[in-house]
Amino acid sequence: MRKNKMVGSVSEQSGILGVVKEIVRQLCDGELTKEQGQLIIEHHNPFAKVIGMVSSVVERAREIMGRNFLGVDAVVRRFRVSVTDEIAKAFSVIPFAEEVLKAAKNDHILVADFGNSFLDIRDKVGRGLFYDQNWYDSYRWAREGEAPQWRLIRKDAVPDSFNKNWGEQQSLLQANEVVPRVRQMAYVIMLNYLENNERLFEHTWVRTLAVDSSGDHVLLGSIAKDGLDVSTGLTTAAAALSVSLPPGNPEPLIFERLNPCSS
C-alpha cells in the first residue's frame, strides 16, 4: 500500500495554489484516493479549507447568482477579515437547493455572513459610512454576533408591505421566509455597497426583527450622503418589510464531485 505523501511534499511556503496543485496531482496519480480525500474533509484537516474554497458546489452558486453572490473572497477583501477553520467549514457547502437559488437570483443576495456584530461591522468599514449616532450602542442586538453561515436576503422591500403595521406585514411572509436581524441587514447592505457600488433599499426604510426600548421595530435605510441610518418609530407608510430565506439542510461536500482529473 502506497503511503500518502501529502503533508511531506507540500512546503509551508508553497501557499494555497501549491496545496491545490499537490492535492490534484496526488489524486490524479493515484497517490490520494477519493476515500482519503473525503476523510480530509470530514476530519476538518487544514487542507479542507482549500478544498472547500474551490468546491464546485460553491462555484455553481456563484454562477447562478451572478452579481448577487457575495462570497468569502468579497468579505475578506471589503471587511479585512481572515478565514479561520470555523469559517472555512461553515462556507464549504451551500445550504440552499439549486432550484431555490435559481428562483431567488434576481431579487435576493446570497452572502457569506461571517457573523460580525452590528458594532463590529461599523468599526470594520469605518464610521464614515454610518450616520453619526450612538443611541443603539448599548443594545444587545447591536453588540451580539452570530455563527457564520450563508444567508439569502431579499435585496428590496417585500411587495405591498408599505402602509401596514407589523402584524399586517407578518401576514405577507411566505412559509419559508423570516425577518432578518439588524446586523444581518447592515452586513449585506454594506458589503454589497462596497463590492458592487449598489445602494440597497434606496429611498426605503425596512423593518427588522430588533426592537428599541419602546417596542418599536428597528429600521434600516440606504447608505445616503450621511451614511447608513438606523431609526425606529416611523409611520407605517414609510416602513416596508425586509425578509430572508432560512438555510436548509446542506448536503455534505463530496470529494468525488470535484472531478479535478476529468478532461
- List the end-to-end C-alpha distance of the chain, in Å, as a whole number: 28
Question: What's residue 4's pLDDT?
Answer: 39
State residue 13's pLDDT score: 36
Please compute Rg for the chain using Cα positions: 21
Q: What is the pLDDT along the chain (263 residues), one digit of tens a residue?
A: 433 333 333 444 345 455 556 666 666 666 666 666 665 555 555 455 545 444 578 889 999 999 999 999 999 999 999 998 888 888 888 999 999 999 999 999 999 999 999 999 999 999 999 999 999 999 999 999 999 999 999 999 999 999 999 999 999 998 889 999 999 999 999 999 999 999 999 888 999 999 999 999 999 998 988 899 999 988 776 789 888 988 875 544 334 444 555 54
Angle at 110 between CA 257 and CA 55, to 5 degrees: 20
The confidence score (pLDDT) of residue 262 equals: 53
Q: In Å, what is the CA distance from 209 to each residue of 149, 170, 243?
A: 18, 11, 10
In whole angstroms, give the CA distance from residue 263 to residue 253. 21
- Alpha-carbon distance 37 to 139, whole Å? 45
The set of cell numbers assigned to 226 is: 450621511
How would you label 59-76 residue by residue, b for 16+ Cβ within 10 Å and e otherwise?
A: eebeebbeebbbbbebbe
C-beta separation of 70 from 111 below 8 A: yes
Q: Say if residues 108 and 184 touch (Cβ distance below 8 Å).
A: no
- Residue 125 C-alpha cell reads as 468599514
- Check: CB of residue 64 under 8 Å from CB of residue 40: no
Can you give the pLDDT at residue 53? 47
Residue 11 phi/psi, 5° resolution? -75, 155
- CA 77 – CA 93 distance, rounded (Å): 21
Q: What pLDDT does 10 receive? A: 40
CA distance 196 to 74: 10
What is the distance between the alpha carbons of residues 224 and 233, in angstroms, rounded to a whole number? 19
